[in-house]
Structure 1
């Protein structure tokens, strides 16, 4: 028995090797692809958190109330421990050591200066340990001292910028402070200083409204200085405990947990009694919310691609196992006719398949882990197990087919696609599959984006592909039958013979059609969504900037505009006048008036979406709710009143924040207004330095920078790379399916071709015959699958929502670009080349195949 099994294995070495190689590749990819994607999610989470993220607990109190709440170093340390203990586990694992500090409100510095000056007084124990005194002495305030000036230290750079020196005295509204020393940081690059720039140098602070900016800085004092300020004045203090977040330690799972725990921590902080009311201040909420939206979209969209890839891999394995079963079918039939039981048939059939699949799957799993593409994913084990079970079920089905004893009409019946008669059971299964696919689409669209990573999302493309494959298999014989009569009337025999051989393929031989269809569906879907994402980001960059560049200028004269237009590379420049704090006589709510020539703007930058097709007065949605639809007068101090009548609404205008109140009017209505800000929309590719030089002191925003900010996001990179890899892997599996069928059936085909060669078929006609045999499967499968892939974004609807990657800009489905179409044509040509190469490799002379008398 053992010897017969070995002989059987040697006789079937080709399909066994093919099955083993495909099992290894499938297991390897089942490990590497999800792990690599998960690693990309983790990198995206770390980037979303950022290197300078923090979490602060802030409380405010004034004067004696502040001192009563926090009277000493011990009280500061006690509260530090309290807040640290309240941190939920997900936050505590990524939070650094707490950094407590106490800072006064901003205090005006009296005197005549080029710009107003403000000073903050800070008690920051962490700063004291990170500086060295370079002039004077440390700011030490003995507890018993109550009459002398409060001693403070400032940085040497701050003193040099604003002209201070050791011994200078400042009267801060009843608080007399004296600079006792100057310091320098031990390490200016220490991340500790990132949220404390005022302790190292002077910073600019907005005073609000039209008051301009002030020079501000922070002076360090000790605990004694804090005590004196609290007890001798009503100055307001901000108590702050900063927890730096180590963004590099955050993965995608941590980010999800942190989002939920932030709310719990905020409630715990606000509910704490016995201290001044405190709140949690952090940018993590917005960052985690944005990351969660991007992660949800990525998992939803990539889940569709992964589901298709898994189906393609399963199809190729089933194909290999089916071809092995077909090769074993005569042997099993003979054994069954000689009295072997089904269990005895299962030993060689299932045993050979298991020998090829199980060790290879294990090696593939180990190789995937050795690649260390990312953290291991449980789904990898489930996928490998499912693929192995599917492959082992094929020989079991082959054994079950021999339950009739290998005799009777079942053994003699033709089961090729053209002559075969589908059973009632198969018809019911086909109808059930189509109905299940339709139900899945309806449920998916009803659930919309909330479907998320539900298995239904990943199953819908597979169900649609399988249903379409069933339909194509039903139509395939009729297409062949319709083509044969036309070819029969032609003088050449290659076309007729090729289609006749294609029609004689049985269901296992036609399985490549379904595999290729699924592979083409994955490639079409990924190419379509990838193109849609790229195009959507480009449109979003135009919508944000309004041109290739936008200059945010102050009052702009004609000479400056002429300089901009004369720059090399500038193809157009259009000014817009921006007047803020405008209101109507009936409603004092402020809004912004933007004067721009819309006709000229559409001609200058036609790629900017949402610009009205006619000139006139247009209101943002918020301004429309304020002004209504009737004629109104717009005015403000320093501006001549203008009467306008709205012609419609405009959702967005470059340079204006979404959701704000603004009015777009023809430029000529406010062209004469002087002293107001301007914008210049520029098209072309000018040198950035020249553009900044032509508009000195003005902010220049580039569309390429806005586009780069969207495309260089780690999550977007993960999506693009996964789409690219998915298309390549799907195409590679499709070509493997073609190669497998050609190689496994090459020897039998060589015998048939040898007979035809004896009848006069030339070598060149033999190559043409190989192409004609494979052409129907390739064209039907790839064509149907590609069309389904193009339609999938529309079919799945709200699941493929790419707005988190385009700054909220809506993305519509697009036709794939030229690279994808060229790749499709290249794959078809490569498949044809493989068919010709296999025909040449297994070419047999008639004298070596035919026997005497044939």
Structure 2
């Protein structure tokens, strides 16, 4: 017998034959597995990338020094002539900085520039030169600092860098261009520091040998030394008044380092260790926290102190607090970042199982024939495994590799495991379902199903009880998977109940339709109620996929809607009104500001007010309440503000004045103040004079003080107070309802207050204008100071600031991506069900058309048969999502997503859930209509072939 003949008798290869028989089904299965494996592998990596970005942004938002560790070592003022004998201080700093850099433990990694180090004078010296600006009548102060490699981070714009080669009593310094413009000096100027200090024998002057411009003013290199990149307007309290003066810092060279302590009565060596934020990963947060703790007080700190060789070193950092905040925020947003992906994963598994079940059902006759001809169950199972492995494994591997390449992160185990789980479900679904179909039916299947459904219901009840008792986020480092899966368990229970009720509901609708004229509706609903008489199509899986998708989307939309409402509420509480403008360093608001601001777009009810801090108020016992904040405001507008805020609501008639000159002014007081004052008139001392007030009502807060009210406040009507004190002056506070933008208010302040800004520092402006090339810089500084004289806050801007957190954006973006994926898989479940029933439905339509059924009636028949399932599932999913708010809402903490402390709980959001339901219904209807349009083009003769069983 020849070899080809023997091969033909041995039989054709099973896998190759099956793939050639149904290539389209194999390609579609591979595409489904590829997309699902890619999403499964991409999900953990997207979570890691979002958490890493949020962690780094959290550190960046706290300033350029937040991601670093500071080491300082103090030195006393050296004795005369001792610097020369001490060697090279700059070389000593270089050696110690290199040793400290080697003490940084993993996983921390220094930034590319390495440590920033140098030595700063302990105390600045006054510059009594009369030509220098004196904003409050005080002379400016100059401190000195040596900063290693400063020339590499700045550009010299005039003169040269200091060398230190100067006679005794004289110091060479370099100033920043902005500092020189503020002080009104240039390269070559000499700054007189007064007579020599008897205790130090220090020099008395500093020569400005050069001017420089920093490359990046906001970098960690320049931010570590105050008043170095630009002069600072500092204040000193003299009596009850804060008097401003200018503080500046000058750079000395390496050769001038020995004289630094003499100028400043001692110096402090500092070493700034900025860490590379790209090396910070949220999954390694505990290790990074331990490393920082070791540097502050641990083994790394011991090595660091030994390298310094100096006692009294201090190691400080804000990273431990930031790491704790980051860990808390990650745990708080985990429900949203987990619920959406978990819902998408559950829908994807349901679709994979549905595809496997439909494929096994389609080949049920073939498998029974193989078993009847003697094939063993193990043999059939092995052949099916080989068939699915050839299709599924390459697709799963390709999807996993694509996710690993597209979304690079440090971790890959979770992604690979998730993709592997998806691949195994896809590979084992068809063989296991086929094995179940080929097995002989066992009695008691209905009881086992009932027991399983009751177990799911019990697990759901336990999860809901645990959520309400402990909260969604657990107290540990991670998230309780049972609690996070509570919405999914709720949806699963709803799907099981709906699977039980679906035939009953559709059967009732079919009976109602049967009483009406026409058979199309009755026939379609009857077929939807009882399914195909020859094939038992899976019914729970499509319902589960649809209901999971709607529940997940609805629950997440409820969370996001609650977050948006809570954020608006938090912004209103923080501002106290739609807009708030207060005079900070200026005495009052500009003339005409209140009238002009009330005409801005978006302004509602607006009023100007006067606030008096620490106003003494007399008590019945003769004592004084010295720290009462008095607000003089229009009562009608104030009542509207209080209603918007929901705090301190009152009737404006309480502040109505009787008009008599000697009568006390009615007042609203906080509870503690009202209790101590009683109902009799009392004396309140304002800056304009003494005023008799009478408590007419009690309020629990005022929007005029820090948005939510102070502990001791008193509100007076503006009209009666102005009549008693005609010289009360311009108001220092402006409040308005509505939704105003902050920029027009700031522009209006800048336009109306040029005199106020210039009046705060006339000497500075004149001195700066006299310097060559410094006029424009001085004008800019004056305008900036004018803007800083007023505080402008709006509800809209505050809400935007709260919403600018990258952690919130990441959570919301990931959730909506998961919702889109879940919706796509749910529609795929609908499409799979339609495609599986399409041949039999097409044959039915062809037979009915021979009996006179019109095409439009055929479309109505298919819609009546196919749409009840997605419609009922969408409505049930919406109801489950709405029920999740009262069931799970009280335990959900929204503070991390809002960005401010807010009460826990979700509010029922009907509109977002309704939109999700309508979207799914619309897309499902379009899918059914498209399938009907395609199937309707088939010829009747093609569908009515003799002997065709569909």
TM range (shorter): 0.7 to 0.9
- Indicate whether 1:493 and 2:519 are aligned: yes
Tell me the SS of whatever aligns to 2:645.
coil
Supply the distance in 2 between the matched residues of 1:712 and 1:65 (Cα, whole angstroms).
Answer: 54
Indicate conservation of the 8 Å contact 1:154/1:219, yes or no: yes
Aligned to 1:442: 465
SS at match of 2:485: helix
Alignment counterpart, residue 831 of structure 1, candidates 898, 921, 924: 924
Q: Which residue number in structure 1 is paired with residue 64 of structure 2?
A: 52
Shift of 1:123: 3.1
Partner of 1:303: 338
SS in structure 2 at match of 1:199: coil
Residue 360 (structure 1) shift = 1.9
Shift of 1:213: 1.7
1:428 and 1:82 mapped to 2: Cα distance? 68
Residues 510/436 of structure 1: CA separation in 2 closer, same or farther (3 Å cut): closer
Aligned ranges for residues 421-436 of structure 1 at < 5 Å? 423-436=446-459
Shift of the alpha carbon at 1:362? 1.7
Instruction: Give the corresponding residue for 2:145.
Output: 122
2:649 aligned residue: 612
Answer whether contact 2:234 2:246 (CA < 8 A) is retained. yes
The equivalent residue for 2:769 is none
Q: 1:426: how far off?
A: 0.8
TM-score, normalisation: structure 1: 0.86
Give the 3 Å change call, closer, same or farther, for CA 838–161 of structure 1 in structure 2.
closer
Which among 565, 571, 579 is matched to residue 535 of structure 1?
Answer: 565
Q: Does 1:744 align with 2:836?
A: yes
Q: Which residue of 1 aligns with 2:104?
A: 87
Question: Judging changes above 3 Å, is the alpha-carbon distance between structure 1 residues 97 and 361 closer, same or farther for their aligned structure 2 residues?
Answer: same
Kindly state the Cα deviation for residue 695 of structure 1 after the two structures are TM-superposed.
5.0
Q: Is the 8 A contact 1:332 1:399 kept in 2?
A: yes
CA-to-aligned-CA distance 1:500-533 (integer Å, 9 cap, x gap): 2112334614421111001111211222222222
Q: Which moved more, 1:741-750 or 1:652-661?
A: 652-661
State the 1:648 CA deviation: 5.6
CA distance in 2, matches of 1:121, 1:37: 47
Aligned-residue offset at 1:254: 5.2
Secondary structure at the counterpart of residue 573 of structure 1: strand
Is 1:781 equivalent to 2:835 in the alignment? no
Counterpart selection for 2:588 from 546, 550, 555: 555
State how far apart, in whole Å, the 1-side matches of 2:649 and 2:26 are: 66
Distance (Å, rounded) in 2 between the aligned partners of 1:547 and 1:484: 57
- Report Cα offsets for 1:667-688 as digits up to 9, x if no partner: 4486658479722123454744
**Corresponding residue of 1:32:** 42
Residues 1:99 and 2:113 aligned together: no
Preserved contact between residue 61 and residue 237 of structure 1 (Cα < 8 Å): yes
> Following the alignment from structure 2 to structure 1, what is the Cα–Cα distance between the partners of residues 46 and 438?
46
Distance 1:288 1:137, change over 3 A: closer
Aligned equivalents of 2:387, 2:861: Cα separation in 1: 33
Contact 1:579 1:592 in 2 (8 A): yes
Query: Does the 8 Å CA contact 1:320/1:740 hold for their aligned counterparts?
Result: yes
TM-score, scaled relative to structure 2: 0.78
Partner of 1:416: none
8 Å Cα contact 1:19/1:317 also seen in 2: no
Asked if the contact 2:93–2:118 (Cα under 8 Å) also holds between the matched residues in 1, the reply is yes
Q: 1:258 to 1:676 in 2, by over 3 A?
A: farther
Distance 2:837 2:372 in 1: 25
**Correspondent of 1:161 among 179, 182, 205:** 182
Rounded Cα–Cα distance in structure 2 between residues aligned with 1:853 and 1:325: 22
Tell me, in whole angstroms, the C-alpha distance in 1 between the residues paired with 2:432 and 2:230: 79
2:308 pairs with 1:258:
no
Residue deviations 1:176-210 (CA, integer Å, cap 9, x gap): 43123331226543633344462344221132462
Distance 1:852 1:314, change over 3 A: closer
Q: CA deviation at 1:804?
A: 2.1
Deviation at 1:304, TM superposition (A): 1.2
Q: 2:640 aligns with which of 587, 603, 623?
A: 603
Tell me the number of residue pairs that the alignment of Structure 1 and Structure 2 aligns.
834
TM alignment of 1:101-250, pairs within 5 A? 101-110=119-128, 113-115=133-135, 116=138, 117-127=140-150, 132=156, 134-135=158-159, 138=162, 140=164, 148-155=169-176, 157-164=178-185, 166-171=189-194, 174=197, 175-185=202-212, 187-189=214-216, 191=219, 192-196=221-225, 198-208=227-237, 210-221=241-252, 227-228=258-259, 230=261, 235=265, 237-250=267-280
Per-residue CA deviation, residues 675-718 of structure 1 (Å, 9 max, x unaligned), is 79722123454744653246524333343332322223322221
Q: Choose the corresponding residue for 2:935, options 838, 842, 845.
A: 842
Structure 2 gaps of 5+ residues are 1-10, 655-666, 754-785
Q: Measure the CA separation in 2 of the matches of 1:649 and 1:378.
A: 58
Q: What CA distance in whole angstroms lies between the structure 2 residues aligned with 1:568 and 1:832?
A: 44
What is the SS of the residue equivalent to 1:140? Answer: coil
Structure-2 separation of matches of 1:619 and 1:278: 51
Aligned-CA RMSD value: 3.9
> CA contact under 8 A between 2:867 and 2:928: conserved in structure 1?
no
Shift of 1:475: 1.5
Contact 2:127-2:192 at 8 Å conserved across structures: no
Cα distance, 1:589–1:323 mapped onto 2, change above 3 Å = farther
